[in-house]
Amino acid sequence: MSNMKLLEIKKLNKSFDDKKILTDINLSLSSGKIVGLLGKNGAGKSTLIKLINDLLTPSSGEILVNGEKIGVESKKVISYLPERTYLNKQMKVSEVIELFKDFYQDFDEEKAIKLLKDLDLDINQSLTKMSKGMQEKVQLVLVMSRKADLYILDEPLGGVDPATRDYILDTILSNFNENASVIISTHLISDIERILDEVIFIDKGKIILQSDADKLRNKEKSSIDEIFRRMFKC
Amino acid sequence: MELTFDNNIPIYIQLLEYMKIYLISGVFKCGEKLPSVREFAITFKVNPNTMQKALAELESMNLIYTERTNGKYVTKDQKVINKLKDEYAITLAKSYFQGMKRIGLGKADSIRYLEGIDE
C-alpha cells in the first residue's frame, strides 16, 4: 500500500472528433508533492485536468487514483478548482459553504470561515457583488478547506493582483500536508516556481519533460521560467 | 523573516545559505530548538520538502541535530559554528581580493582601502 501511487496515468489519449488533444500521456505522482503542470495556452492542461476529474472520458488509456479507476471514489478525494467557476453567482458565500458541506464529507467549515475572515471577506455577501479577485479567493478557500488527497488547481493565479497571488501561494503552502499532493496548472511560471517540487512541461498534447524543480535548475543553471521560455520559443 | 530567492539557483541551496548565516550570526543559538520544517516553510514561503532538504544538509554538516521525536536543534558545539563562521569570512575576504585584483590592485593596496572605510 505504502508505495502505491496517488495518481497514475497510463497511455492516455484524448481526441475531440478527429482532433488529437492529448497523446500518450504517462504520469505518476506520489503523496506530499506540489507539482506544476506547465504549458502554453491550448497545450492540453485543462483537458488533462478534466480527465483526471472524470469530467471527460478518455479516448484510450487509464487513470488511477489510489490504485483504482477514477469515478465516485476518486471524486471524494480530489479537490478541484476549475479554471472557470461553476458556482451560481447569485448565491451568498454562506450558501456556497452550505453547498460544500452537503457535497463533501471532508469539508472543514470552521477552517473555511476562518480563512474567509482572514481575507476580510463577508460571508453574507453574494458572489455577484464581489470583484473577480474576491470570487477567486472564495473559491480557493473552499477548495483548500477540504481535507483531500489531491488538490488540482487549474490556473489559480489568472486575473488576480500580485498581493492576492502571494496570498494564494501562502494558502496553498500552509494548507498542504504530507499526505496530500497539489497539482497547479499555470502559464505564469515565475510567480509560482519557488514552491514547486516537480515540474511537468506539456506541449501540443504531449508531456515533454518531468523533473524535480531544483535538479532542473541545477542542470540548466537557470530558472524554470527561463527553461520553459527557451524550450517553447515561438 | 521574508527571504528573497533567485529562481535561477536551486532553492534549497539558497535556503542553506540563509540558514548558515542565521547560525553564524546567532539568530539561532547554540543548542537552541529550531522551528519545525512546517513552520520554517511557512515563514520562508517555500515548499516543506525543499526546507527539509536544506535542513538535512545542515544536519549532515553537523550544524544541527535531530532529537528523536523532539525536533531539531542547533549543535551544542560552539566550535562547529565558529569554524563555519571562519570559513564564511574567508570566502567573503577572498571574493573581495579577487574583485580588487580585477581592477589592478594587490593585497597591500586592498587592505589599505579596507582600513580607510568607516563602517
Nearest-by-Cβ selection for B41 from A173, A223, A226: A173
Interface residue A198 vs chain B (CB under 8 A)? no
Measured between CA atoms, how close is A56 to chain B, in angstroms? 31
Nearest-by-Cβ selection for A173 from B13, B42, B53: B42
Interface residue A182 vs chain B (CB under 8 A)? no
B38 and B25 inside one domain: yes
* pLDDT confidence tier of residue A74, bands split at 50, 70 and 90: very high
To test the contact with chain A by mutation, choose from B6, B7, B12, B39 the residue with the greatest count of A C-beta atoms within 10 A, namely: B7
Asked if the model's pLDDT at residue B6 lies above 70, the reply is yes
- As assigned by CATH, the class of the A7-231 domain is alpha beta
B53 and B88 inside one domain: no
Measured between CA atoms, how close is A142 to chain B, in angstroms? 20
**Cβ-proximal residues to B56 (8 Å cutoff; 6+ apart), any chain:** none
Please report, as a single letter, which amino acid is at residue A95.
Answer: E
Domain assignment present for residue B23? The answer is: yes
Between B17 and B116, the more confident residue is: B17
Interface residue B64 vs chain A (CB under 8 A)? no
B71 and B84 inside one domain: no
Please report the pLDDT score of residue A206 as a whole number: 95
Collapsing DSSP to helix, strand or coil, B99 comes out as: helix
Asked if the model's pLDDT at residue A1 lies above 60, the reply is no
Asked if the model's pLDDT at residue A116 lies above 50, the reply is yes
Please report the pLDDT score of residue A131 as a whole number: 87
Domain assignment present for residue B3? The answer is: no
Nearest-by-Cβ selection for A195 from B8, B10, B47: B47
Averaged pLDDT for residues A183-200: 92
CATH of the domain at B52: 1.10.10.10
Please report the pLDDT score of residue A219 as a whole number: 95
Domain assignment present for residue B2? The answer is: no
B57 and B88 inside one domain: no
Closest by alpha carbon to B11, among B42, B57, B46? B46
d(C-alpha A132, C-alpha A139), whole Å? 11
Please answer yes or no on whether B50 and A226 come within 8 Å at the CB atom. Answer: no
Please report the pLDDT score of residue A191 as a whole number: 85
Q: Write out pLDDT tens, residues A208-228.
A: 999 999 999 999 999 999 999
Averaged pLDDT for residues A53-73: 94
Nearest-by-Cβ selection for A169 from B11, B45, B48: B45
Please answer yes or no on whether A195 and B8 come within 8 Å at the CB atom. Answer: no
Please answer yes or no on whether B47 and A214 come within 8 Å at the CB atom. Answer: no
How many Å is the Cα radius of gyration of chain A?
18
To 10 degrees, the CA torsion angle through A193, A190, A214, A194?
-40
Listed range (A21-30, A128-137, B81-90) with the worst mean pLDDT? A128-137
Q: Write out pLDDT tens, residues B50-78.
A: 999 999 999 999 999 999 888 999 999 99
B71 and B104 inside one domain: no
Please report the pLDDT score of residue A179 as a whole number: 85
Please report the pLDDT score of residue A207 as a whole number: 95
Please report the pLDDT score of residue A161 as a whole number: 78
* pLDDT confidence tier of residue B1, bands split at 50, 70 and 90: low
Please answer yes or no on whether B47 and A197 come within 8 Å at the CB atom. Answer: yes
Please report the pLDDT score of residue A234 as a whole number: 67
Please report the pLDDT score of residue A176 as a whole number: 79
User: How many percent of chain A have pLDDT more than 90?
Assistant: 72
Averaged pLDDT for residues A175-189: 87
Domain assignment present for residue B16? The answer is: yes
* pLDDT confidence tier of residue A4, bands split at 50, 70 and 90: confident
B71 and B87 inside one domain: no
> Which grid coordinates are listed for A42?
491550448
Nearest-by-Cβ selection for B11 from A169, A178, A214: A214
**Cβ-proximal residues to B94 (8 Å cutoff; 6+ apart), any chain:** none
Measured between CA atoms, how close is A173 to chain B, in angstroms? 7
Averaged pLDDT for residues B84-91: 95
Nearest CA in chain A to B11: A214
Q: Write out pLDDT tens, residues B10-48.
A: 999 999 999 999 999 999 999 999 999 989 998 898 999
- ipTM reported for the complex, 2 dp: 0.80
Asked if the model's pLDDT at residue B118 lies above 90, the reply is no
B15 and B72 inside one domain: yes
To 10 degrees, the CA torsion angle through A103, A83, B43, B50?
100
Half-sphere exposure of A53 (CA within 13 A, CB side): 18
B27 and B66 inside one domain: yes
State which residues form the domain around B16: 11-76
B27 and B71 inside one domain: yes
Which B residues 20-59 touch A at CB under 8 Å? 41-42, 45-50, 53
* pLDDT confidence tier of residue B98, bands split at 50, 70 and 90: very high
